[in-house]
Amino acid sequence: MKYDIAIIGSGPNGDALACALADTNLKIAIIDKQPLKKLENPKIDGRDIALTHHSIKSLKEIGFWDIIPKNLISTIKTAKIFDGNSKYSLNFEHKDIKKDFLGCLIPNYLIKKYLKQLLKGKKNIFSIESELLDIKIHDDYSSLTLSNGKKISASLIIGADTRFSSARSKIGISSFVQDFKKNMIVCRMKIKKNHGKIAYEFFKYNQTLALLPYINNEASIIVTVSKENSEKLLKLKIKDFNKEIENNFNYFFGKMNLIGKRYSYPMITVYSKNFISSRFALIGDAAVGMHPVTAHGFNLGLQGIEILCKEIKLALKNNIDIGSTPILKKYQKKLHRVAIPIYLSTNGIVRLYTNGSKPAKVVRKFALRAVNSIKPLKQAFMSVLE
């Protein structure tokens, strides 16, 4: 079977790339080890994804905004960040970026569901239920061996198969991996006090807590704790869990009640040393697996897709091989330029705001005030939300 592009991984990034290229005449295979039925009806996974205006624009361009029900999307007007036990907060307001809201919040399973729906009926996109076993690169094409016994070939292979990408390993690209040795517990809770469309982040000295405002005064709760404590939190009876979270938030939101399940994610970040190889490119978490604390993972993934699509479409227009190295090099250079500052600053924030030593506590307080009061610094932080 011959394709122009074979995408390994039908997650949000793999699917968003396929959607963005659906208007070309390229024949695209999208391969995932999970059954298609399961991918089309994804289960709630506890992640609520905060999206920037840039991402909303990208999702509008591929038609996603036309099909997702708007009553399932919430908007975030303000973000407030607190340090330790202080009542002082660093504030980001929608007015600062001259928009009606800072960003919006969509549950991850809905992003997956509606991207899949968008792909249905696209005549040039072919879904293949199979696991990647092997990749071989030749001068003018690449071939994949799949677990269903089939071999396929394509001009360009895309690795979009998680931050622990097996496509990346098979090609021989190594990555910088940082294990923060913490887990993130995420869940949905109904809260008593009105969240007022404000997102909160509390960098306490023993844990990080966040609340993202969802519809019907529900909230996405994110607690980052040691692996040992995360086990305890997951096992607590619902009544005790509610009490524990109310208490951790110092009753800031009044009574809180768990809705649905609790989910746990290990905090391991990954930055691939290269985003490309011969006839091969990495996108999404397979290229850069971000720490979720600054909510940039999928946002960055969409920026990468935008860059790659522009290069592919330009190559098509000029009759250039889409898998050729000069095309891929341009993608790599542009993505590094966007990704490195976001990746390093996010990991730096995590390291500083999970450090409870005396000098760190002083720097933490100073940094928060500095960003709040030094205009260019604040603008630099706000620019990623535009």
Report the C-alpha gap between 124 and 122 in whole angstroms.
6
Of 49 and 315, the one with the shorter C-beta distance to ligand FAD is: 49
Instruction: Give the DSSP H/E element, type plus range, for residue 370.
Output: helix 358-373
Least distance from ligand FAD to the Cβ atom of residue 43, Å: 12
Least distance from ligand FAD to the Cβ atom of residue 342, Å: 11
Distances (CA, A) of 366 to 43, 210, 352, 353, 374: 42, 21, 12, 12, 12
Of 292 and 323, the one with the shorter C-beta distance to ligand FAD is: 292
Distances (CA, A) of 270 to 46, 178, 184, 289, 384: 21, 6, 16, 5, 20
Of 33 and 361, the one with the shorter C-beta distance to ligand FAD is: 33
Report the C-alpha gap between 204 and 46 in whole angstroms.
22
Of 33 and 197, the one with the shorter C-beta distance to ligand FAD is: 33
| 333, two tokens | 């250079």
Is the Cβ–Cβ distance between 80 and 368 less than 8 Å?
Answer: no
Of 252 and 265, the one with the shorter C-beta distance to ligand FAD is: 265
| 310, two tokens | 């522009």
Report the C-alpha gap between 353 and 321 in whole angstroms.
46
| Helices vs strands, H then E, count in the chain | 13, 19
Least distance from ligand FAD to the Cβ atom of residue 166, Å: 4
Identity of the residue numbered 9: G
Of 34 and 379, the one with the shorter C-beta distance to ligand FAD is: 34
Of 101 and 265, the one with the shorter C-beta distance to ligand FAD is: 265
Of 164 and 360, the one with the shorter C-beta distance to ligand FAD is: 164
Least distance from ligand FAD to the Cβ atom of residue 295, Å: 3
The site for ligand FAD (CB under 6 A) is made up of 8-14, 31-34, 47, 49-50, 108, 131-132, 160-162, 166, 184, 186, 265, 284-285, 292, 295-299, 301
Is the Cβ–Cβ distance between 352 and 299 less than 8 Å?
Answer: no
Report the C-alpha gap between 314 and 235 in whole angstroms.
53
User: Residue 28: CB partners within 8 Å, gap ≥ 6?
Assistant: 3, 4, 5, 6, 7, 18, 21, 22, 124, 125, 126
Least distance from ligand FAD to the Cβ atom of residue 369, Å: 25
Residue nearest to ligand FAD (CB): 11
Of 116 and 204, the one with the shorter C-beta distance to ligand FAD is: 116
Of 80 and 361, the one with the shorter C-beta distance to ligand FAD is: 80
Least distance from ligand FAD to the Cβ atom of residue 16, Å: 8
Is the Cβ–Cβ distance between 142 and 157 less than 8 Å?
Answer: yes
Least distance from ligand FAD to the Cβ atom of residue 85, Å: 25
Strands 78-83 and 198-203: parallel
Query: Exposure string (b/e) for 205-234, b if CB count within 10 Å is 16 or more?
Result: bebbbbbbbbeeebbbbbbbbeeebbeebe
DSSP sequence for 62-87: TTHHHHS-GGG-EEE-EEEEEETT--
Distances (CA, A) of 354 to 64, 222, 289, 298, 347: 37, 15, 19, 23, 11
